[in-house]
Amino acid sequence: MDAIDCIRTRRSIRAFRKGPVPKEILMEVIDDARWSPSYKNSQPWEIMILSGAAKEALSKHMVELLESGAEPTPDMPEPHSWPEAEKARIDHLYKTRSEATGIDFSDPAVVRKAKKVNFNFYRAPHAIYLFQDGSLTPWSLFDLGLFAQSLMLAAHARGIGTVPQAFATDYARQIKSFLSIPKTKRLVLGISVGYPDESAPANALRTDRAAAQELVTWNE
């Protein structure tokens, strides 16, 4: 798969086959992603891969926190307002997904159910957490985003599905304690990883993108 095909065909996968991805293949993905650019080559990313009993135990812990009514403790607070253009795209996504599934994604009960599904990593065989030192500036957050994209593209090039998950960091303080990640680290992103179940309806929906002409301003 060439780079352009990889970028254009990658999508978020929310249903996975049961079989694990071999450890050596996952390490190849990380080995590719580590070539991502970063400010002054600081490489401000750390990675933890969860599988098997460890992943299941964390999922159970997060679901229990949700059901107990525990307040979220994210290191990256959820945004509650958006500029007009971005909000319109989000609204369009929810409308499209609602039409495709018959589910009202603005319903708090649906959001709660979605969190549980996220906490179970969509039953993927693996979960990856990306984190970094909490003292790093927004430049390093940008760099970690570049790394996450590289990781997901490297996985897709090998036929491995991924989905980036903000909800998976809702209980960052408790997750770091559970996984023995130092309190001084900033938990940024969770990613479900596994071979896609191409027959699952959850993987049939592909989101659109704004046209390039809407994004570019020429100054000549």
150-156, long-range: CB within 8 Å, 24+ apart, which pairs?
150/32, 150/33, 150/35, 150/36, 151/29, 151/30, 151/32, 151/33, 151/191, 152/10, 152/191, 153/6, 153/7, 153/10, 154/28, 154/29, 154/32, 154/33, 155/29, 155/193, 156/1, 156/6, 156/9, 156/10
Answer yes or no: is 31 within a domain: yes
Kindly state whether residue 89 falls inside one of the protein's structural domains.
Answer: no
Q: Is 131 within the bounds of a domain?
A: yes
CATH number, domain with residue 60: 3.40.109.10
Write down the residue that tokens 């957050």 correspond to.
141
pTM: 0.94
In a domain, 47, yes or no: yes
Tens-digit pLDDT profile for the chain (220 aa)?
A: 899 999 999 999 999 999 999 999 999 999 999 999 999 999 999 999 999 999 999 999 999 999 999 999 999 998 989 999 999 999 888 888 787 777 787 788 888 998 999 999 999 999 999 999 999 999 999 999 999 999 999 999 999 999 999 999 999 999 999 999 999 999 999 999 999 999 998 888 888 899 999 999 999 9
Position 171 scores a pLDDT of: 98
Q: Examine residue 166 and state whether it is found in any structural domain, yes or no.
A: yes
Q: How many domains does the chain have?
A: 1
Residue 37's domain comprises 3-7+16-78+120-205
Give the per-residue pLDDT at 76.
94
Asked if residue 87 is part of any domain, the answer here is no
Q: Is 205 helix (H, G, I), strand (E, B) or coil?
A: coil
> Is 86 a member of any domain?
no
53, part of any domain: yes
